[in-house]
Copies of this chain bind each other. A is one copy, B any other.
Amino acid sequence: MIRYPNGAPAKTKTQRKKTSKPVKTGNRGMGLESDINDSNLYYLEKNLCLITKRPTPINVVKVDYTRGAIITNAYFEKQSTTDYNGVYKGRYIDFEAKSTHSKTSLPLSNIPPQQVAHLERVLEHGGIAFFIIEFTMLQEVYLIDAKHVIDFINKKERQSLSYDFIKTNGYEIKRGFHPRLDYLPIIEEKYFK
């Protein structure tokens, strides 16, 4: 059963290992998604902010109503926006999470043009837009403002965002037990002070 966690119960490290499959470079690993969902649930419970994951868009072709609305034919649609959005202190927050197995860079091929366009619009309308980027092999996660990434992409000089670029322009997110990825203090520090 494939689940799209939306504040789903956290898996232990052992459970995750058992069910994990090799993830292609640059695809968002379930580990990162699960860590962000866990953190959002923590923020929700502590009443600190409200960030939710957008459901995966699915085009439903056929539904069998004789069995109680079972979808029997459907396909995944391209995500035209980002995975997460929400509100903190009245401000609009929007971000995308990316994970890479490379120790040196995140290939830009993992950031589809429609996500870049969406984040550009968020910035134009005064929202807070960023990426959360995980270097799985280094066990480091960074928050980097979307503007840095968009400007870099628009220069068209390189095919990937280097680790150094992300480290220089981003902020490392503290890993912990609960929340597992405490990214909210960075938002507070960077956008509200």
| B59 adjacent to A89 (CB under 8 Å) | no
A47 to B3, CA, bound (A): 35
- Nearest chain-B residue to A88 (Cβ)? B125
Residues of chain B contacted by A47 (CB below 8 angstroms): 121, 124
| A122 adjacent to B55 (CB under 8 Å) | no
**Interface residues in A77-104 (C-beta closer than 8 Å to B):** 77, 80-81, 85-94
Q: What is the copy number of this chain in the assembly?
A: 2
Residues of chain B contacted by A94 (CB below 8 angstroms): 87
A44 CB contact (under 8 Å) in B69, B85, B121, B127: B121
| A-side interface residues, number (CB < 8 Å) | 47
| B125 adjacent to A50 (CB under 8 Å) | yes
Q: Mark A142-185, 1 if CB is under 8 A from B, else 0.
A: 00000000000000000000000000000000000000000000
Which residues does A use to contact B, with CB under 8 Å? Answer: 1-4, 6, 44, 47, 49-50, 52, 54-61, 63, 69-77, 80-81, 85-94, 118, 121-122, 124-127
- Nearest chain-B residue to A121 (Cβ)? B50
| A127 adjacent to B55 (CB under 8 Å) | no
For the complex formed, measure the closest distance between the CB of A30 and the CB atoms of chain B, giving whole angstroms.
14
- Nearest chain-B residue to A129 (Cβ)? B87
CB contact under 8 A between A122 and B2, given known A55-B56, A72-B73:
no
Residues of chain B contacted by A55 (CB below 8 angstroms): 54-58, 77
| A2 adjacent to B126 (CB under 8 Å) | no
| B76 adjacent to A69 (CB under 8 Å) | yes
